[in-house]
Amino acid sequence: MKEIVILSGKGGTGKTSLVGSLAYLAENKILVDCDVDAADLHLLLDPKPRSSHEFRSGVKAKVISDQCSGCGICVDLCQFEAITMDFAGPTALMNPLSCEGCGVCAHFCPEQAIVLEENYCGDWFISDTDYGPLVHAQLFAGEENSGKLVSLIKRQARELAEQTGLDLILIDGAPGIGCPVIASLASVDTVLAVTEPSQSGWHDLERVLDLALHFRLQSFVCINKWDLHPEMAASIEIACVERGIEVLGRIPFDPTVIECQIQGIPVVCNEQSPAAGAIREIWQALSSRQVNKE
């Protein structure tokens, strides 16, 4: 089984549009949307939900006001500035969005006035699409634990792939280089990084390539909207080659990509689109260069 993750560092370079198209081109695969706090892949693939599951992770502390003596011990203990004192009570007030669920306040409360409640922080789904199964999720707005949710849906996808004899896991990653991105890299074989020809695009790409290197993963690059700044695209290519990273292709700026997004279909479905042609070539190149896992 192979696992390919599409990353970018910088947001908005075209990860999801590309994954949508690769979903159309690749055979015998399962899709995973690991951008769990702003998941968009389902907007291109029209998934039919097969099953829906609650994601519960960690705990949140809750103050039982009647039992609180207002001693303020918890306020001093909390390292996340999640507890303030309402002197009118006096009673401790918990800000659930700042609470990281460490439980230290509950442990030390002399009145046992703080309880820890399991945190329901999102939903995840197994769906069917015209292009194969999709495992996706929605972390509730403002929640943490995105890395754990990413690990969970990746594990589900792998199990499903093994049960049904699929040999490729195609993963849409999150922007950035933090917790959800690191979680999406576990057991991956290949990183395909999508960038754009701008200083920001290159700056952020370098950090993603450093991250892939940190985890000893093989990386490839493709440059989206390259013709918006051909010189910058050329210098990114040179810089990649200097790092020993192959640039698999360039995708031209193409308003068809947005038109297809509005229609809710992958851009490769449109035969006339210049971007579609480039994406087909990138997929061909990527397929021929993948290493087999031992």
Partner 1 sequence: MQIAVASGKGGTGKTIVSTSLAMCAPGRVQYLDCDVEEPNGHIFLKPDLATSERCTVIIPQILEEKCTYCGKCRDICRFNAITLFANTIMTFPEMCHSCLGCFRVCPDDAIVRSEREIGMLESGMAGDISFVHGRMRVGEAMAVPLLKAVKKKADKNVLVIIDAPPGTSCPFVEAISDADYVILVTEPTPFGLHDLKLAAVVLRNFSKPCGVIINRADLGDARVEQWCQQENIPVLLKIPFDRKIAEGYARGQCLVEIRPDLRPSLQALIEEILA
Sign of CA dihedral 127, 130, 133, 135: negative
Kindly state the smallest distance separating residue 242's Cβ from partner 1, in Å: 18
Q: Pick the piece of the chain touching partner 1 (CB under 8 A) from 22-30, 103-111, 127-135, 269-277.
A: 103-111
Min CB(63)–partner 1 separation in Å: 17
Which of 27, 28, 43, 238 forms a contact with partner 1 (CB under 8 A)? 43
Name the one range near partner 1 by CB under 8 A: 29-37, 124-132, 156-164, 277-285: 29-37
Of residues 193, 238, 250, 265, the one with CA closest to residue 6: 193
Interaction with partner 1 in 222-241: which residues (CB under 8 A)?
225, 228-229, 232
160 contributes a contact to partner 1 by CB under 8 A: no
Residue type, 232: M
Amino acid letter, residue 164: T
CA distances in angstroms from 87 to 69, 96, 99, 114, 173, listed in the order given: 11, 19, 20, 17, 46
Rg (C-alpha) for the chain, rounded Å, is: 22
8 A C-beta contact, residue 97 and residue 128: no
Please tell me whether residue 75 binds partner 1 under the rule CB under 8 A: no
Among 155, 167, 210, 243, binds partner 1 (CB under 8 A): 210
Among 25-33, 152-160, 165-173, 255-263, the segment contacting partner 1 (CB under 8 A):
255-263
- Pick one of 2, 31, 92, 144: the residue that binds partner 1 (CB under 8 A): 144
204 scored as a contact of partner 1 (CB under 8 A)? yes
Q: How far apart are CA 70 and CA 55, in angstroms?
A: 33
Check residue 101 for interaction with partner 1 (CB under 8 A): yes
| Nearest distance from C-beta of residue 1 to partner 1, angstroms | 25
**By CB under 8 A, is residue 58 in contact with partner 1?**
yes
Residues lying near partner 1 in the complex (CB under 8 A) are found at 9-13, 16, 35-38, 40, 43, 58-59, 77, 79-80, 97, 100-104, 107-108, 139, 141-144, 146-147, 174-183, 196-201, 203-204, 207, 210-211, 214, 225, 228-229, 232, 255, 258, 261-262, 264
